[in-house]
Structure 1
Amino acid sequence: MKVAVGQWPVKREWQHNAAQISEFMRSAEQQGAELLVLPEAVLARDNDQSHWVIEAAQPLDGPFVTQLLAVSQSLSITTILTLHVPAAEGKARNVLIVLQGGEIVLTYDKIHLYDAFTLRESDNVVAGKHLPPLVMVGEFTLGVMTCYDLRFPEMARALARQGADLLILPAAWLKGANKELHWELLTRARALENTCYLIAAGECGPKNIGHSMVVDPLGLVIAQAGERTQLLYSEIAKDHIDNVRQQLPVLANCRLSALPS
């Protein structure tokens, strides 16, 4: 299956971002991709006003998603992204959505909020409480995560144990000391330890690293973007997962659940 990963610097006005996403969706479909993965929090961003993502939040039936659903209805490609949705008490939910055929077929509220490296996402965002369900795209079973979820191996393992063979990660990975190293190390580890493909889309621009990538079930980076706007393509194969899991059956060999507590 051909997959696409898009990255760009998210702008303040949602209309600009909706237009960029729509362009990526049409371009990826024209190139034969069946899946498009986009970054985290792509509705609106102002790097000089950090609270803008909350003020600009829209419900899932708002104009931003409505415009994307209209594009999705005319295409066969599946598109995955996250946006901020209004919640109670002036906060928002960071919601991942999966678009197929003009419908939202899956939503996931980000569980692990980025309260790290001096920042506190939980000051503005309500944490999710439920592991996301799996979703099918072609012959692949997808498990979804969002950004900081990557640092919690239990989540990727839970999705793999439920049957995921392709892990999806929209992200806005902040720049900082060794952050590119963390990004590559963690994406490759999550793929290898679960013998899954992993597609990670990272926002690029002045605050975030970009470097979207596709990692194979042996932890090898098979496609990687740089730091600028880019639509990245890669081919993934179900039989490669099957072959890796025959040679390296870590999911089948794991005995922790059988040990006494």
Structure 2
Amino acid sequence: MRVAAAQLRSTPDPGINAGLVAEWAARAADAGAQLVVFPEAMMANFTVKLAPLAQTLDGPFVTRAREVAAAHGVWVVAGMFEPADDGRVHNTVIATDGDRVHHYRKQHLYDSFGSQESKTVKAGTDLVTFEALGTRIGLATCYDVRFAEQFINLRRAGAEVVCLPTSWAPGPQKVDQWQLLVRARAMDAQAFVLGADQAGDPNPDDNPKSRAPLGVGYSLVAGPLGEVVAKLGANDDLMVADLDLDRVPAARAAIPMD
């Protein structure tokens, strides 16, 4: 199974970002990827008020993602925002092949390091997995990666690949934490975890907005024993990796965890 992570910085404009999804999905398909994962907040980044931009699952952003997936014969996974029933939004990840649309609403909100995501985002409650490309795929988002139980439950639900769109806010030791957590959660899930982060700032010392809640980059794929299968640096880039799915049942047989 060939997968890709599109590591880029989304803008505040959903229309522009839908165009970026089309552009990067085409690049991934040209590289032979069957599934391409975009970052959290791909529809609109965290520098703007989210509620006025939130869209339903039949809105223009998801509609464009479906069209792109169908046109290129790939699964597209990307972060967006849906209206919630209390005036906040849901931080949602959609996965579509053009026909089907699965969605996961982020369960663990980033109320840490001085941020309070819960002020504007309503947490989801459901674990989400689905069958695609001859395997079972699970969905999680960014701060979820700090919660081992969610990934253990994804393993119990049969997920062999977990897509993890992320907008990992920069700060001291945040890159180290990100890489360690993705590898640890892959070991908990005994699965491949594909962490796709927003790109980092290439010139942080010259950019006063470099600490905006966007990303650090360093997207990576970790395997079922916690090994790094593929990784990127900080800047805009496309990561392509081949996953040997036979390694998932082999790891689970060698290291029983239930």
Aligned partner of 1:62 in structure 2 is: 59
Whether the 8 Å CA contact 1:139–1:238 is kept in 2: the answer is no
Match of 2:240 among 233, 238, 244: 233
Separation in structure 2 between the aligned mates of residue 25 and residue 89 of structure 1, nearest angstrom:
34
The alpha-carbon distance between structure 1 residues 88 and 193, as it changes in their structure 2 partners (threshold 3 A), is closer
How far residue 223 of structure 1 moved from its aligned partner, in angstroms, is 0.8
SS in 1 for 2:72: coil
**Aligned residues of 2:151 and 2:188 also touching (Cα < 8 A):** no
Give the aligned partner of residue 101 of structure 2: 105
Contact 1:35 1:137 in 2 (8 A): no
- The corresponding residue for 1:163 is 158
Alignment partner, residue 220 of structure 1: 227
Q: In the alignment, does 2:14 pair up with 1:18? A: no
In structure 1, how many angstroms separate the alpha carbons of the residues matched to 2:29 and 2:185?
Answer: 28
Q: Letter of the 1:40 partner, please give it.
A: E
Residue 3 of structure 1 corresponds to 3
Tell me, in whole angstroms, the C-alpha distance in 1 between the residues paired with 2:249 and 2:227.
16
**Which stretch has the larger CA shift, 199-208 or 115-124?**
199-208
Give 2:204's aligned residue.
Answer: none
How many equivalent residue pairs? 246
Distance 1:209 1:18, change over 3 A: same
1:155-194 maps to which residues of 2 (within 5 A)? 155-194=150-189
1:104 Cα deviation from its structure 2 partner: 4.0
Secondary structure of 2:240 counterpart: strand
Corresponding residue of 2:28: 28
Q: Deviations over 1:4-34 (max 9, x none)?
A: 0011111121122111111111111121111
Equivalent AA in structure 2 for residue 55 of structure 1: P
User: What's the offset of the Cα at 1:139?
Assistant: 2.3
Does residue 1:95 correspond to 2:92, yes or no?
yes
Matched, 1:81 2:78: yes
| Structure number with larger C-alpha Rg | 1
Unaligned runs of 5+ in 2: 201-209
User: Structure 1 residue 124 and structure 2 residue 131: aligned?
Assistant: no
**Which runs of structure 2 are paired with 1:135-174 in the superposition (5 Å)?**
135-174=130-169
Name the CA distance, whole Å, in 1 between partners of 2:160 and 2:255. Answer: 14
Which portions of structure 1, spanning 4 or more consecutive aligned residues, are displaced by more than 6 angstroms? none
Work out whether residues 79 and 91 of structure 2, in 8 Å CA contact, stay in contact via their aligned partners in 1. yes
Superimposed CA distance per residue, residues 142-195 of structure 1 (whole angstroms, 9 cap, x where no aligned partner): 111111111110000011011111121111010011111110111111112332
Amino acid at match of 2:31: Q
Give the TM-score, by structure 2 length: 0.90
Over 3 Å counting, the alpha-carbon distance change for 1:138 and 1:56 in structure 2 is same
Go from structure 1 to structure 2 and tell me whether the alpha carbon gap of 1:46 and 1:191 turns closer, same or farther (over 3 Å shift).
closer
Q: Deviations over 1:76-120 (max 9, x none)?
A: 2111111011223431111111111x2343111111111111111
Identity %: 35
